[in-house]
């Protein structure tokens, strides 16, 4: 149970925190139609001579328009000694410029990130290659293919609250029960697929695509349906497969909220479903350890995206975008992720969506070394990481719009002493979801409270 605070100013304080991280809706660029679209820009052209230092004042002027437009750097910033100050893909803030001045740094260098090594197109021509060499060959080839993909702008059209499709509450619950059964079937399908891939056999992606398509259809009925299925699903099965399905569902729900087209939502879902299967090649004593991992063991964990790529090579018909997602779902826009420590401008936007869903699902699952975090704790962690610029601001907002700060399915205590279960997120009102009152044993009383309308009540505890 998490006490969110009982003072009258708590809600106001939390709303300010959410607003600071998620911010108001970003206006569309002037070159785009006035339809609420938000365009994720392609990296800016790199025109600076990397060998010529520039003054901090010139840097201040050069980045002014980029900062004002919310764009990220396309080049690394170094001091004159070659120390990295800010990685490509980061946003330059006034605070950063103040720190430069405080450290007496008057001149800096801009350098384009080093390009990936030349790709090896036929990994089967080197039978004596070690597993590390094989993984490097796979990732290099993907790096080259991604270079062109990242130049394309991704258009998001976040769906306004009043335009979200909604079912009546009773129908929502009925569809969710059917969805839980579909969740279990999909988890079983992933299990069988992984056994086949582990055996080195080829298998078509057809069955998984059909499963994901069914969930896309469900999301089109009601944006709250997929998060409701995740909340209702209780399984004692292997964590990995259940986690994969949860990541897929939450990723698709976020993609729907972002107004993505159906084929794109399908690719995001497939990517979320498959991005962690390489964990099966991590030794069980490491994967299921009841203790903190050593640095060598953590290195094995960080290599699992490369194992995933190798396994996907035997999955016929899988879209290239799914491989991009699998490769980068554990990266972070500030460069602290793995396996390649890529930064914002070097990341595929679909992978950024899946990375948020992956963190939320992992935190809310029980693991051998810890109890599950509450949905509220997991959502607050994502908020914190959004504030630290590990996650993109627009995508952090999409996550909140999808599940709310008190996620769908979680129990909360209201300021009048009642206990409730969150039924729906309220986009733009992230601390005031739709709640149904429940008894001490969890049975609904039939009373539904819309906290976005009932201003006299608020959440005081997350359970």
Q: How confident is the model over 430-451, as pLDDT tens digits?
A: 999 999 999 988 899 999 999 9
Task: Read off the tokens for 336.
Answer: 């602290």
- Of 196, 300, 288, 188, whose CA–CA distance to 244 is shortest? 188
Q: Are 175 and 225 in contact (CB under 8 A)?
A: yes
Q: Is the pLDDT of residue 11 over 60?
A: no
Peptide bond before residue 24 is cis, with ω within 30 degrees of 0: no
- pLDDT tens digit sequence for 152-200: 778 899 999 889 999 999 999 999 999 999 999 999 999 999 999 988 8
* Residue 28: pLDDT band with limits 50, 70, 90: very low
Report the C-alpha gap between 112 and 115 in whole angstroms: 8
Q: pTM for the complete prediction? A: 0.76
Bridge partners, 422 (sequence order): 435
Report all structural domains of the chain as residue ranges with CATH numbers, in order of start.
2-27+408-462 (no CATH), 47-111 (no CATH), 123-388 (1.10.3210.10)
**Range list of β-strands (E), 259-342:** 315-316
Task: Give yes or no for a contact between 241 and 275, defined as CB atoms under 8 angstroms apart.
Answer: no
Q: What values do phi and psi take at 257, rounded to 5?
A: -60, -30
- Could you give the CA distance from residue 325 to residue 312 in angstroms, rounded to a whole number? 12
**Closest among 165, 140, 157 to 39, alpha carbons compared:** 157
The Cα 280–Cα 278 span in angstroms is 5
pLDDT average, residue stretch 265-288: 95
**Would the pLDDT of 142 be above 80?**
no
Look at residue 22 in the predicted model and tell me its pLDDT. Answer: 58
Q: What is the mean pLDDT of residues 110-123?
A: 42
Q: In Å, how far from its chain's centre is CA 426? A: 20
Binned at pLDDT 50, 70 and 90, residue 35 comes out as very low
pLDDT tens by residue, 81-99: 445 566 566 666 666 676 6
pLDDT of residue 235: 72
Which has more pLDDT, 24 or 19? Answer: 19
3-state secondary structure 194-244: HHHHHCCCCEECHHHHHHHHHHHHHHHHCCCHHHHHHHHCCCCCCHHHHHH
Q: Do 59 and 80 meet the contact criterion of CB atoms below 8 Å apart?
A: no
Whole-number mean pLDDT of the chain? 81
CB of 436 closer than 8 Å to CB of 421 = yes
Helices 169-198 & 206-221, crossing angle to 10 degrees? 160
**Position 78 pLDDT exceeds 80:** no
| 3-class SS of residue 43 | coil
Whether residue 231 has pLDDT greater than 70: yes
Res 20: pLDDT = 64
Length of the chain: 463
């Amino acid at each position: 149970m998490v006490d969110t605070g009982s003072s009258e100013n708590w809600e106001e304080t939390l709303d300010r925190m959410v607003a600071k991280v998620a911010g108001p809706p970003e206006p569309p660029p002037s070159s785009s139609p006035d339809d609420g679209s938000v365009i994720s820009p392609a990296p800016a052209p790199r025109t600076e001579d990397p060998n010529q230092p520039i003054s901090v004042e010139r840097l201040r002027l050069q980045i002014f328009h980029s900062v004002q437009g919310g764009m990220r750097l396309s080049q690394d910033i170094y001091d004159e000694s070659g120390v990295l100050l800010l990685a490509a893909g980061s946003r330059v803030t006034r605070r950063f410029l103040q720190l430069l001045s405080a450290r007496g740094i008057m001149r800096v260098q801009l350098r384009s990130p080093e390009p990936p090594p030349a790709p090896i197109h036929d990994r089967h021509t080197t039978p004596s290659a070690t597993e590390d060499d094989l993984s490097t060959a796979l990732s290099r080839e993907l790096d080259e293919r991604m270079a062109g993909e990242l130049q394309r702008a991704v258009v998001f059209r976040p769906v306004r609250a009043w335009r979200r499709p909604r079912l009546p509450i009773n129908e929502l619950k009925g569809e969710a029960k059917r969805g839980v059964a579909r969740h279990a079937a999909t988890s079983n399908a992933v299990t069988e697929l992984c056994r086949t891939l582990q055996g080195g056999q080829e298998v078509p992606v057809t069955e998984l695509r059909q499963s994901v398509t069914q969930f896309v259809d469900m999301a089109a009925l009601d944006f709250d349906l997929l998060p409701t299925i995740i909340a209702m699903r209780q399984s004692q099965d292997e964590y990995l497969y259940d986690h994969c399905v949860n990541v897929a569902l939450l990723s698709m729900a976020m993609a729907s909220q972002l107004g993505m087209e159906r084929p794109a939502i399908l690719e995001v879902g497939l990517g979320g479903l498959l991005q962690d299967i390489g964990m099966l090649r991590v030794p069980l004593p490491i994967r299921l350890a009841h203790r903190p991992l050593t640095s060598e063991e953590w290195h094995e964990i960080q290599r699992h995206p490369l194992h995933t790529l190798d396994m996907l090579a035997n999955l016929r018909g899988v879209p290239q975008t799914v491989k991009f997602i699998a490769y980068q779902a554990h990266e972070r826009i500030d460069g602290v992720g793995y396996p390649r420590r890529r930064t914002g401008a070097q990341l595929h936007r679909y992978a950024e969506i899946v990375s948020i869903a992956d963190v939320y699902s992992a935190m809310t699952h029980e693991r051998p070394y810890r109890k599950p975090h509450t949905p509220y704790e997991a959502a607050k962690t994502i908020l914190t990481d959004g504030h630290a610029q590990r996650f993109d601001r627009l995508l952090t907002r999409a996550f909140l719009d999808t599940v709310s700060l008190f996620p769908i399915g979680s129990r909360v205590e209201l300021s009048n002493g009642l206990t409730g279960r969150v039924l729906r997120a309220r986009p733009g009102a992230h601390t005031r979801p739709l709640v149904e009152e429940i008894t001490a044993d969890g049975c609904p009383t039939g009373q539904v409270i819309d906290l976005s309308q009932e201003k006299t009540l608020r959440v005081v505890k997350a359970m």
